[in-house]
Amino acid sequence: MIKVINMNNDEILRVENLHTSFFTSAGEVKALNGVSFSLKRGEVLGIAGESGSGKSTAMLSIMGLTGEAGRVSADKLEFMGKTLDAENIKSMRGKDIAMIFQDPMTSLNPVLSVGYQLKEALKRHHWEGSIRDRVIDIMAKVGIVPAEERMKQYPHQFSGGQRQRLMIAMSVICSPVLLIADEPTTALDVTVQAQILKLLREIREYSGMSMILITHDLGVIAGEADRVIIMYGGEIMEEGTVQEIFKNPKHPYTLGLMKSLPKPDSKRERLIPIEGQPPDLLNPPEGCPFVKRCQNAMKICLHKKPEVSVLSDTHKYSCWLEVKNNA
């Protein structure tokens, strides 16, 4: 388990030893297995991982959105000093913590005008001040102009990129402290992706909000995040600043990911993939979740969860290799 050493007043989110399971007809799926991290004000935390790594589940667990089949437990789940229980999260969701998803249509109601929906979001959270001015202001900020006219339109009258902008407008309209963006640009083309990422950057700059950016695209993480968490099989493999992760990756999985990407400068050099298949969450290995695909797997990796090795205040990773090298 990772313990953060310096308690900082700027810290807005703290998660310790988060476990989430889903009960399905096929058995219990352990989606998260002891995940701990924290987030400071204004910081962008990138969470990278493949499908099934638990990156989205972690966020849904924090937001209390795991549904009936999910069981969430954690030693600590605090946001702005308040424990995130079912009661608290309800009043914070959409106001203090907002979330955007891959598919913008999940948050836009097709039969209501976008202006109405934006106004509703403000009213729901008792916005003080002129609701109409705020809606026009936010629509202009996300680049949907002329706002006065376009707020009368319905979601289907906007293009995919514009809907994503609207969804961002909807989520930041109450000035949240934290925005959780779950694969916000995965469905978009690269040119639109660049626009959306730029927009999110601008919003952060003037509002000072923090962001958790979940994506499988390491390129997006490298460009946007301050700190990075690499997840695999429901556990955190490595955590560090963006420099530490990209310039000095330690965990075999992080290293494998970096190597499997095509290099922009090389001439058709053969890729080095991570062999094997993603982990089966119904039957997770006792030890390290990555053991089956790890080139350096040792006997201890099969049966024992690796200890966390601390390289710096910010850089930590969970692997027996480090323990072995120090022994």
Residues that bind another protein (CB under 8 A): 24-25, 50-51, 67-69, 159-162, 189-195, 198, 216-223, 242-243, 246-247, 256-258, 260-262, 264, 267-268, 270-275, 277-278, 280, 283, 285, 291-293, 296-302, 320, 323-324, 327
**CA geometry: angle 183, 54, 184, nearest 5 deg:** 5
Is 134:173 a contact under the CB 8 Å cutoff?
yes
Residue closer to another protein by CB (options 56, 162) is: 162
Separation CA 38–CA 32 (nearest Å): 16
Closest CA to 315 of 232, 218, 239: 239
Residue closer to another protein by CB (options 1, 271) is: 271
Residue 125 CB, shortest distance to another protein, in Å, is 30
Q: Is 121 helix (H, G, I), strand (E, B) or coil?
A: helix
Amino acid 6 reads N
- Pair of tokens at residue 33: 């297995």
Closest CA to 320 of 246, 253, 223: 253
Is 258:273 a contact under the CB 8 Å cutoff?
no
Closest CA to 181 of 202, 153, 210, 207: 210
Residue 310 CB, shortest distance to another protein, in Å, is 17
Residue 183 CB, shortest distance to another protein, in Å, is 13
Residue 250 CB, shortest distance to another protein, in Å, is 16
Strand (E) or helix (H) holding 171: helix 160-172
Separation CA 136–CA 115 (nearest Å): 9
Residue closer to another protein by CB (options 9, 191) is: 191
Which one-letter DSSP state was computed for residue 178?
A: E
Residue 50 CB, shortest distance to another protein, in Å, is 4
Residue 205 CB, shortest distance to another protein, in Å, is 15
Residue closer to another protein by CB (options 174, 281) is: 281
Residue 189 CB, shortest distance to another protein, in Å, is 4
Tokens 């009960």 locate to 23
Residue closer to another protein by CB (options 82, 259) is: 259
Strands of 49-107, DSSP E: 70-73, 76-79, 82-83, 97-100
Residue closer to another protein by CB (options 120, 217) is: 217
Residue closer to another protein by CB (options 97, 231) is: 231
